[in-house]
Structure 1
Amino acid sequence: MLTPSSDEFVFPSRGELSTGVAPMIGGGHMGDLVRETDWSPTPLGDYNSWPASLRTALSLVLNAKGIASLYWGEQQWLLYNDAYGLALGDRHPLAFGRPMPEVLTDIGPVLGPQVAEVLRTGKGFAIENLSMIMNRHGQDEETVWTYSFSPIQGESGGFAGVLLLATEMTQQVLADRERDKAEVARVQAVSQLKELNARLEAEVTRRTEDRNRLWLLSSDIMIRCTFEGLITAVNPAWTDLLGWQADELIGQTIFELIHPDDLEHTLKAVSLSATGHAYARFDNRYRHKDGSYRWISWSTQPDDQQINAVGRDFTAEHDAAQALAKAEEALRQSQKLEAIGQLTGGVAHDFNNLLTVIKSSAELLKKPDLSNERRSRYISAISDTVERAANVTGQLLAFARRQALKPEVFFACGSVRSWAGMIGTLVGPQIEIALDLPEQSNFIRADPNQFDTALVNMALNARDAMHGQGRLTLRVYAAEQLPAVRTHPAIAGDYVAVSISDTGCGIPPENLEQIFEPFYTTKGVGKGTGLGLSQVFGFAKQSGGEIVVTSTIGQGSTFTLYLPRVVQPAETPTALDAVAPINGHGTGVLVVEDNIDVGTFTVQSLSDLGYVPFLAHNAQEALAELAKDALRFDIVFSDVVMPGMSGIELRQEIQRLYSDLPVVLATGYSHALAQNGASGLELVHKPYSVEQLSSVLQQVLRATRQGT
């Protein structure tokens, strides 16, 4: 057996190798390598000095068809054939002719002890499907081998080498392993599917049993019918609820039992179900066997063949809701009548007082031999009283939001003072009214009617909070900012604050943020609609202001309306200011008035002032007169509210036909003006004096002539 030198050996490179190998070495690439190698510098020595056993064993290795190698000597010098070189990967050919434990560091710890044991005992052995981690292409990978070790006897009688014959089983083993995994997965899937099917069958059985119990025990009626409405099954509840036995219903159509008024929407629901829609809910009336009808609320769920439906009887709830609706409507009517009665009583009281003055003054004027001073006093009383009556009707229209609404600049204190009397009537005699109104001018620009309505709404809210008894304080003052409230911080500016304070029950803190929401009310049924304070809120916001409330439980609340302050306007007379009578100088006026008394009086008054008036009793007569000769009229004076064509429509027609002919309108109340406003219209408000009418006519005529 060869014993290599203990000195370090460096295997020669291919360039340092020379030929000289005996011809007995086998063919193939590794045979060439052996033949081209000069082994004399190696521990193996010159080939010619190799023992016959080594050369013979190497020839067997090189000529083997499969993977073969020779481990020679105790250092286990590695000699192998081409197939073994391929199995080594990129470690070939550097591994050839070197000690196996040094070059095969990955599998050497496994093979080295096995080779040493064969050399020691001379007993070969075989191993099947041994898994080893090899580094063959720059990375570790699992390999599987079946191989055998056979001892080779040396010349001196011992064992000098070990012959390895191997078969790589990696691909086959990995394929078998994947197949086994797939089979395990398949078996598991089949097992899971069987288990799932078993659970599903158990669940179906349980649900079927539950459905059958529900079908038999439910107090709601259940039905199955075709998409054409033919009944195929009903549960026992039909007998309890509607008196029908199952055999009396099966084979009929559902439409034979439905109230005629409910057929249309029931047909729609059935049609939707037939297209696969689950019609969540619809209500109809089903006929009881005794001829009466019950209200049923249905839920439907179609399947591929029929419609399944569940119906709940809500006849009692429906009847109760109907009765409640009737009671609420009766209550609303009662509340309306009560409100009208309260308002009518206050208005009647005021108007009776005014009419008393007018009647008394008129009767005194009939007396003969009245002095001029007394006659003038009675006439002034009548005139002043008419003005007060006009103010009352104006306030009522503003309260009902039935006047043409226009923003104007007005004195806040004056408006509050003028409303104090009306508020006193509304809140009742047991509530004391206190005013805190400064002398300095606090002018605001807003719609005066909405402003007055806001005052009334706040006052009525305070009245209810005091239960009709307490103290109500109205205050006006200048403010330099809007206080921080709700979602905005304090805002600096010039504002007028109008506050109403009561001594009522107060508002809980949790309700303060909700009291301005539409329809929100903490009052009992019939005590309020929840719209009053929302009107105040909207008016404040639209006017560029704010509404703020502070309240203490048991002590009262203060509502403060903030509106932008404006510069005091110049004092100029308006078109309706009372002025001295203006001579008409023959001005032609077409008067259109359906009220005979008013029309006759207006024509006579205008004639007395030098006008040439002509009376038409409606818009059609007026247009007919204009068609005869429009040039004889300088201006048209028409009432707004008339049968047939209104004064507003007449004005539009005159503007279309006679664009240069001005029109002045008179109104006591007009729904159209209340809804659309009076912008661009020349108006005289009833009641008017002949002086006011003459003044407006002349102003409009002057403006028309200047414009032309």
Structure 2
Amino acid sequence: MRDYSEAELRQKASESIRDKLIGRELTDVEEELLIYQTELEMQNQELRETQERTEQLNRQLNWFYNHAQVAYLSVDHGGKIKICNETLAAWTGIPVFELKHKYIFDLFYEADQLLLRNIFRVLLKRPDSHKMELKLKNDAGTSERVVMVQGIASEATPPVLDGDGFLSFTLSDITEHVRVRSTLDLASQVLQSTSECVIITDANTTILDVNKAFCEITGYSKEEVIGRKPSILSSGKHNRTFYERMWTDLNNSGHWRGRITNRKKSGETYIEELAIHPVYEHGDPVYYIGIFYDISERMAAEEMVQRAQRLESVGTLVGGIAHNFNNMLAGISGNLYLVNRQPELTDKTQEKLQRIQMLTDSASEMIRQLMAFSRQTPKKLTVVELNEFVRQFQLLHSAAIASNIEFELDLSEEQAWVKCDRVELEQVLLNLVINASHALRGIEAPRIKIAIASDLDEVNLDSGASEKYNLIAIHDNGCGIPNELLDKVFEPFFTTKEQGEGTGLGLSTAYGSVAAMGGQIQLISTEGKGTSFHISLPAYKEMKPLRDGLEIRQQSNVSTDGAVILIADDNEMLCEVMSDILQDYDYTVITVNNGKEALRTFTEQHVSLLLTDAVMPEMGGFELASAIHKENSQLPIIVMSGYSSEFVDPIVDDAFIWRIDKPFAPEQALQLIQQCLQQTAGDLSMREE
């Protein structure tokens, strides 16, 4: 209470005396008593005012206690609730007066009660503060709450409680916090499990976090990149202008998407598809999120598809050209054959005719290679002599080698025969020679050598027996291959060349092709000294090649009396040449220029054999053959084609239909015609392999 000064009391007393005893003087005693009475009255008034303020404050505190966002309760040492606020009643759906008859453990689910009891026992033994996350039951059926329970032990007992001590608990509703935390945990799991690389930076592009995919693709650990700049991945492939444009687009549009060539920790470059999105706060970017994935393999696959599409277009073009060109070559070969049959040719003339025939054969092989390159010819196994094969390879492909490179051959003394697809083997050698030429860049006195060795011994791993094989070795004195890369060179898509110089498929394709021929390919390389590829192929035992993949059975002289050959081809020159050759062998020949005219001629005249082109106006050769065999199923029919077999209809499964590819040697056509004329049921030896 306030202590009043004597002056204040006397002032108050004098005011009271004037009010009550006007005109009379007080004695000293009366005056002292009056002052004392006045003091008591003033103190009583102050007490009343203080009590009113205290009661008001208690009401406010009680309101805040019962309406707080936190639930309060106190329990005795047995856990029975003694006091609690209205917030706890609202959360549990149990009135306050009922809560005072319950134990704190009853407010929680059984799974959480054990944890609470353990903490409770700890608090009883050692006064302290403990927190735990529990799920609160709700008897009203409303949504459950997750609460943070904090228990506090005290030896003092509030006035409203009886006993020697109590435990106080506060319950904070963290349901929304837990939901957000769960969402963040889920987002974090998604971030770490996604196959796309994620990088998060602050507004200054300092890396704050990366995911697992980022680490797997780049080779950097999270600890190595956090706190650094994304430029750690820079490959140097993009100039400053590129990045300035990127940031300008990002700031103007709010996002950026594009392709970037970056560098891994190992030094290997890769191409990534990158999308950058800023995170804004109050209109300013506070974070940047980059999402990217390595598209190097996808781009290689796309390049393969594009290449296949280009080859498909080339193949269509080549097929059309091949048809006409092969017709011309067939005409040239036929005329050469007729000229060679003329008597009294000089040696010089015969030599020139042989040169023309060699050029014709070379042109024919070039057409076949073009069609093989565009994948328009099936595999065609032939017997090849390797010494002659590499001689022709050197003549055909020297232009593909830089003029400063010495390209030499080291041939074997004995012939080396193998059975293989000639075009495929040529493609294998071409891939290896081109790779060798690339390895010779900057080398003084560059050299490529192809060596042939015959009849070498090797052990068959399956049978354990010693077998003969022939070897093709391609050597260069180039830069060589590092030891750590030797095990990778035959893997698909592996390449050390710059972007655009190769797909990484050449050596893997060569490996598969050689294996398909029953052979092996071995790599020997020393960095800084050069590289050798050794191709070993099984030696072919029969030292006689098959002509164009067809096994021609030699026939004795067959009488041609009365044999009528109907030739149907839209190329008049070829019709004329074949007519002259067949007439020279006493055949009767009828020529027509399309399928419908040939069908009409067949119905009007006697025909012993039909020699028809596969592709003609109005009616093609196979359609013509089907129509004729409806009338005469045993008429021998030979179909000539200047296309690959994939460009024409499949040969009818008929014992009396044969196929011969243009350009063909006249001797081959004559032998086939003779065999067809003597054909009997079941004799299918002339069918193409």
Q: TM-score of the superposition, structure 2-length normalised? A: 0.47
Higher relative contact order (CA 8 A, sep 6+): 2
**Based on CA coordinates, which of the two structures has the bigger radius of gyration?**
1
